[in-house]
């Protein structure tokens, strides 16, 4: 027998009232959470802008000193300034990542579509990462993709995604390892793979790592630093292209990150 058949009209009215007030409470909680989320994003945006300006000034002044514009310096002084510049640049990159995340969270990222060769972009990002890879004796190879005709997309945004994936691959791969990038065309989309022989990721973390601020090892003493925003931004940028991004990996046996982008973009 269903509840409506066994309940009196006044019991039903009472039950409806209870459900209505429960629904109202949920609405209030949702509103509250949205307000807090907006406050968090606003705070991140303000603090990042405020940190960026003095940090950029510190880097510029250190560079002026390093270039000898204010007088000659000895080797120890130059080395020390080198440390200030590279540490400052690392911080600046993290702040810029937070600012990109804020713009993505506020739907303020628009695509500028042009046609470009995916192999070209891959090679550009490989080249930019060459010094980092060389320090760890890691090779970053492109295994194919020369035969792919130009595709439609936002070149800079795809470069940003590749920089994050290749940067992570180098970061999480030990000395002497291998990183490779491949691009293949499948009917109306291009599939890009960034693989590495690094630490790998347990399957239960495959979804988690694409969430904002998520890191498998989030302890302060973790060996690799970062904001935990790179993959969340990458996912957003790929979704703006109507593509998909995912990972295949096992702990201890390297990782393969994949993304697809349609070869032509519909006007949005
Ligand atoms: P970040 O690199 O700043 O921590 P990301 O969003 O780029 O942020 O990555 C989130 C997490 O995913 C990393 O902290 C790491 O735990 C994991 N991860 C990403 N790429 C790799 C990789 N190639 N190999 C192993 N773990 C990875």
Alpha-carbon gap, residue 135 to 48, rounded angstroms:
30
Residue 9 in this model has a pLDDT that exceeds 90: no
196 lines ligand 1 (CB under 6 A): yes
Encoding tokens for residue 134?
Answer: 């060389």
Tell me if 197 CB under 6 Å of ligand 1. Answer: no
Nearest CA to ligand 1 atom 21: 168
Beta bridge partners of 190: 185, 261
Q: How far apart are the first and last CA of the chain?
A: 52
- Look up the pTM and report it: 0.84
Q: What is the mean pLDDT of residues 99-116?
A: 90
Q: What is the pLDDT of residues 163-190, one digit of tens each?
A: 999 999 999 999 999 999 999 999 899 9
Tell me, using a 6 A CB cutoff, whether residue 199 lines ligand 1: yes
Pocket test for ligand 1, best of 231, 247, 254, 255 (most atoms within 8 A of CB): 231
pLDDT in tens, 13-22: 999 999 999 9
CA 247 to CA 63: how far, in whole Å?
A: 39
The pLDDT confidence band at residue 216, using thresholds 50, 70 and 90, is confident
Spacing, Cα 122 to ligand 1 middle (Å) = 19
Distance between Cα 52 and ligand 1 center (Å): 24
Question: What pLDDT shows up at residue 226?
Answer: 79
- Mean per-residue pLDDT of the chain: 92
Structure confidence at residue 5 (pLDDT): 63
Provide the CA 203 distance to its chain's centre, in angstroms: 19
User: Binning pLDDT at 50, 70 and 90, where does residue 225 land?
Assistant: confident
Point out the ligand 1 atom lying closest to the alpha carbon of residue 196: 23
CB of 100 shorter than 6 A to ligand 1 = no
Nearest CA to ligand 1 atom 3: 226
Q: Are 41 and 105 in contact (CB under 8 A)?
A: yes
Q: How far apart are CA 100 and CA 55, in angstroms?
A: 17
Residue 242 region, left (φ>0) first, then alpha (ψ -120 to 50), else beta?
left
* Ligand 1 atom having least distance to the Cα of 226: 3
Which of 136, 165, 209, 210 to mutate to test ligand 1, by most ligand atoms within 8 A of the CB atom?
209
Over 70: is that where the pLDDT of 194 sits?
Answer: yes
Q: How many CB atoms lie within 10 A of CB 259?
A: 24
Cα 210 to middle of ligand 1, angstroms: 9
CA 93 to ligand 1 center in whole angstroms: 16
Q: What is the mean pLDDT of residues 198-216?
A: 91
| Model pLDDT for residues 23-47, shown as the tens digit of each residue | 999 999 999 999 998 898 889 889 9
């Amino acid at each position: 027998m269903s509840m409506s058949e066994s309940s009196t009209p006044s019991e039903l009215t009472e039950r409806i009232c209870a459900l209505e007030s429960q629904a109202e409470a949920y609405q209030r909680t949702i509103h509250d959470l949205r307000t807090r989320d907006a406050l968090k994003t606003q705070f991140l945006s303000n603090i990042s802008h405020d940190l960026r300006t003095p940090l950029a000034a510190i880097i510029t002044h250190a560079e002026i000193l390093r270039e000898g514009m204010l007088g000659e310096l000895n080797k120890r002084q130059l080395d020390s300034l080198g440390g200030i510049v590279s540490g400052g640049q690392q911080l600046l990159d993290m702040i810029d990542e937070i600012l990109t995340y804020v713009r993505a969270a506020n739907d303020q990222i628009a695509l500028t579509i042009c046609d470009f060769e995916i192999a070209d972009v891959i090679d550009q990002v490989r080249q930019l990462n060459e010094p980092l890879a060389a320090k760890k004796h890691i090779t970053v190879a492109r295994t194919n993709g020369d035969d792919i005709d130009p595709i439609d997309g936002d070149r800079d945004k795809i470069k940003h995604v590749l920089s994050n994936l290749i940067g992570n691959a180098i970061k999480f791969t030990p000395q002497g390892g291998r990183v490779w990038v491949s691009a293949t065309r499948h009917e109306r989309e291009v599939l890009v793979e960034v693989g590495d022989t690094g630490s790998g990721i347990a399957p239960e973390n495959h979804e988690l790592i694409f969430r904002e601020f998520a890191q498998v090892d989030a302890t302060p003493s973790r060996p690799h630093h970062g904001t935990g925003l790179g993959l969340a931004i990458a996912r957003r940028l790929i979704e703006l292209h109507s593509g998909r991004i995912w990972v295949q990996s096992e702990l201890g046996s390297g990782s393969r990150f994949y993304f697809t982008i349609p070869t032509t973009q519909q006007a949005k």
